[in-house]
Structure 1
Amino acid sequence: MALYVRVAVTLLLLPTLADSLVRHYKFNLVLKNTTKICSSKAIVTVNGRCPGPALYAREDDNVLVRVVNHVSYNVTLHWHGVRQRQTAWADGPGYITQCPLQPGQGYLYNFTVTGQRGTLLWHAHISWLRATVYGAIVILPKKNASYPFPKPDKEEIIILGEWWKADTEAVINQAMQAGIPPNVSDAHTINGLTGPVPNCSPQGTYTLHVEPGKTYLLRIINAALNDELFFQIAGHHLTVVEVDATYTKPLTTPTIYIAPGQTTNALLKADQPPAKYLITVSSFMDAPVGVDNLTNYGILRYPGTPTAATMVLTSPPPLNATAMQSNFTASLRSLNSKQYPTAVPLTIDRSLFFTVGVGVNPCATCVNGSMLVGDINNVSFVMPTIALLQAHYYNISGVFTDDFPAAPPVIYNYTGNPPSNLRTMNGTKVYRLPFNSTVQIVLQDSAAIAPESHPTHLHGSNFFVVGKGLGNFDPNEDPKSFNLVDPVERNTVDVPTGGWTAIRFRADNPGVWFLHCHLEVHTTWGLKMAFLVDNGNGPNESLPPPPSDLPKC
Structure 2
Amino acid sequence: IKIKINKSRYKPFELIETQLLLLYISLTASSIERMRQSFIFTIYLFTSILLSSIVVGSTTRKYIFDVSQIKASPDGFERDILTVNGQFPGPTIEAETGDRIQVLVRNHLDVETSIHFHGMFQRGTPWVDGVAGQTQCPIPSGGWFLYDFEVPGQWGTFWWHSHYMVQYGEGLSGALIIRNKYLEPYRFEVNAEYNVLLTDWYHNNSLTLLSYYLSPASNGNEPIPQNGLINGHNSFNCSKAPAGSKCTPNAPKSVFAFKPGHKYRLRLINTSTFSAFVFSIDNHNLTIVEADGTDLQPVTVDRLAINVAQRYSVIVEANQPVASYWMRAELETSCYPVEAPDLEKVITAEIRYDGAPNPSDFSRSVSKFTDIENEECIDLSIDMLEPYWAKDAPGPVGSQVYLNITFQNDSHGVNRGFLNNVTYVPVYTKPTLFNVWSGERDYAPNQYLLEIDENQVVEIIHGHEFFVLGLGSGVYDPSNTTITNSLRFKNPLRRDTSTIPPMGWTVIRFVADNPGIWAFHCHIDWHMEAGLAMQFVELPRQIERLNIPQHVLHDCPKEAFTRGDNKFGSSTEGLTIGAPVHSNDSTYTDHHSDMSHNDTDHFHH
TM over 0.5: yes
Q: Distance in 1 between matches of 2:378 and 2:424?
A: 29
Stretch of structure 1 that moved more, 298-307 or 541-550: 541-550
Which of 68, 76, 89 is matched with 2:106 structurally? Answer: 68
Report if aligned partners of 2:90, 2:173 keep a CA contact under 8 Å in 1.
Answer: yes
Larger proportion of strand: 1
Residue in 1 aligned with 2:426?
A: 383
Q: Secondary structure at the match of 1:152?
A: coil
Which of 266, 287, 300 is matched with 2:314 structurally? Answer: 266
Report if aligned partners of 1:466, 1:482 keep a CA contact under 8 Å in 2.
Answer: yes
Residue in 2 aligned with 1:48?
A: 86
Deviation at 1:23, TM superposition (A): 1.7
Report if aligned partners of 1:345, 1:504 keep a CA contact under 8 Å in 2.
Answer: yes
**Aligned: 1:371 with 2:371:** no
Q: Deviations over 1:445-490 (max 9, x none)?
A: xxxxxxxxxxxxx6xx200100111111121121221101121111
Aligned pair count reads 482
Q: Distance in 1 between matches of 2:422 and 2:124?
A: 28
Gaps of 5+ in 2: 1-53, 242-246, 558-605
**Aligned: 1:513 with 2:518:** yes
Q: Distance in 1 between matches of 2:196 and 2:316?
A: 13
Q: Distance in 1 between matches of 2:379 and 2:140?
A: 44
Q: Distance in 2 between matches of 1:288 and 1:139?
A: 33
Report if aligned partners of 1:373, 1:380 keep a CA contact under 8 Å in 2.
Answer: yes
Report if aligned partners of 1:90, 1:111 keep a CA contact under 8 Å in 2.
Answer: yes
Q: Distance in 2 between matches of 1:226 and 1:288?
A: 9
Q: Distance in 1 between matches of 2:153 and 2:426?
A: 32
Q: Distance in 1 between matches of 2:551 and 2:493?
A: 38
Rate the CA distance shift 1:287–1:498 in 2: closer, same or farther, 3 A: farther
Residue in 1 aligned with 2:492?
A: 487
Which of 229, 240, 244 is matched with 1:189 structurally? Answer: 229
Deviation at 1:315, TM superposition (A): 4.0
Higher relative contact order (CA 8 A, sep 6+): 2
Report if aligned partners of 1:276, 1:301 keep a CA contact under 8 Å in 2.
Answer: yes
Report if aligned partners of 1:248, 1:333 keep a CA contact under 8 Å in 2.
Answer: yes
Q: Deviations over 1:264-303 (max 9, x none)?
A: 0010011111222122111225456147653211121212
Structure 1 vs Structure 2: percent identity of aligned residues?
26
Residue in 2 aligned with 1:342?
A: 391
Amino acid in the other structure paired with 1:427:
N
Q: State the TM-score, normalized to the length of structure 1.
A: 0.81
Q: Distance in 1 between matches of 2:371 and 2:416?
A: 28
**Aligned: 1:136 with 2:175:** yes
Residue in 2 aligned with 1:395?
A: 439
Residue in 2 aligned with 1:472?
A: 475
Q: Distance in 2 between matches of 1:398 and 1:222?
A: 37
Q: Distance in 1 between matches of 2:64 and 2:281?
A: 36
The correspondence of residues 153-302 of structure 1 with structure 2, limited to 5 A, is 153-178=191-216, 180=218, 181-198=221-238, 199=241, 200-201=247-248, 202-284=250-332, 286-287=334-335, 289-290=337-338, 293-294=343-344, 295-302=346-353
Q: Which runs of 4+ in 1 moved over 6 A?
A: 311-314
Residue in 1 aligned with 2:375?
A: 322
Q: Distance in 2 between matches of 1:391 and 1:289?
A: 38
Q: Distance in 1 between matches of 2:334 and 2:453?
A: 38
Q: State the TM-score, normalized to the length of structure 2.
A: 0.75
Deviation at 1:312, TM superposition (A): 9.3
Amino acid in the other structure paired with 2:382:
A
Deviation at 1:168, TM superposition (A): 1.2
The correspondence of residues 417-496 of structure 1 with structure 2, limited to 5 A, is 427-435=446-454, 437-443=456-462, 461-477=464-480, 478-496=483-501
Residue in 1 aligned with 2:404?
A: 355
Rate the CA distance shift 1:314–1:58 in 2: closer, same or farther, 3 A: farther
Report if aligned partners of 1:435, 1:510 keep a CA contact under 8 Å in 2.
Answer: no
Q: Secondary structure at the match of 1:548?
A: helix
Rate the CA distance shift 1:375–1:146 in 2: closer, same or farther, 3 A: closer
Q: Distance in 1 between matches of 2:550 and 2:534?
A: 25
Residue in 2 aligned with 1:367?
A: none
Aligned Cα RMSD in Å?
2.5
**Aligned: 1:93 with 2:131:** yes
Q: Distance in 1 between matches of 2:469 and 2:538?
A: 22
Deviation at 1:434, TM superposition (A): 2.0
Q: Secondary structure at the match of 1:398?
A: coil
Q: Secondary structure at the match of 1:174?
A: helix
Rate the CA distance shift 1:393–1:276 in 2: closer, same or farther, 3 A: same
Rate the CA distance shift 1:485–1:145 in 2: closer, same or farther, 3 A: closer
Report if aligned partners of 1:345, 1:438 keep a CA contact under 8 Å in 2.
Answer: no
